[in-house]
Amino acid sequence: MQAETIAPTATDFDEAARDAVYRAIFTRRDIRGQFLPRPVPDELLARLLIAAHHAPSVGYMQPWNFILIRDAARKARIRDLVCRASAEEVRQIEDARQVLYRSLKLDGIIEAPVNICVTCDRSRAADTPLGRWHNREMDLYSTVCAVQNLWLAARAEGIGVGWVSILDKEELKDLLGIPAEVTPVAYLCLGYVSDFAARPELESKGWRKRLALDELVSSESWTGAGEDNLKALIRSA
């Protein structure tokens, strides 16, 4: 069903529907190694892309494009870019953590049946400054909203998504023939998975912990104290 055929109202989410939205948010994972070889039907991919295309965008610029990559040889070439970038990145990691870094699986490019490069055409809204005159990055942020829409819709469909960020952007543009005025924002791996982990992989493997949300909330200014009741509710959730 196309989103335009769904007439929104202020109270059309019952408790079960609300719970489903939060469940998708809380159980979404960045998938690396759990992809299955099962093909992803085009009908399902179409739903995910429609969800992405209905993301909010500043000035209604809709700056995104979606490049689907299925060819094994092309995926292998992109995987080579990741390996080269990872070898460069690990040198920036403190020595004590390099062993842990090397133990992490950082992409599922080959295993995932479908890869999608989500791009931002920075010339698409060049004729209007609406929402961008003071904040030129809003087209990039809008594209990230499309990525999140796709990701949450994928989780609801039982599809895992992995965001591969260890890539040289210019090398990726050359390999995919992306024009100069277009920026690759996200390289995603998609597919059915064996499971969704209880916790994010980087948390369970000791890379980082989830920050305490109540310590990230302030009142009226960066250092403003207050909102004690709200912070207590956050801590008790």
User: Could you tell me the residue ranges of all domains in the chain?
Assistant: 17-201, 207-237
Asked whether the beta carbons of 185 and 143 are under 8 A apart, the reply is yes
Q: What CATH number does domain 17-201 carry, 2.60.40.10, 3.20.20.70, 3.40.109.10, 3.40.50.720?
A: 3.40.109.10
pLDDT at position 95: 86
Query: Distance (Å, rounded) from C-alpha 214 to C-alpha 212?
Result: 6
pTM assigned to the model: 0.91
pLDDT at position 201: 86
pLDDT at position 9: 78
pLDDT at position 96: 81
Given its phi and psi angles, is residue 142 left (phi above 0), alpha (psi -120 to 50 degrees) or beta?
A: alpha
pLDDT at position 3: 66
pLDDT at position 125: 81
Q: pLDDT below 70 — which residues of the chain? A: 1-5
pLDDT at position 22: 96
Asked whether the beta carbons of 173 and 184 are under 8 A apart, the reply is yes
197-237 tens-digit pLDDT? 889 888 988 889 999 999 999 999 999 999 999 999 999 99
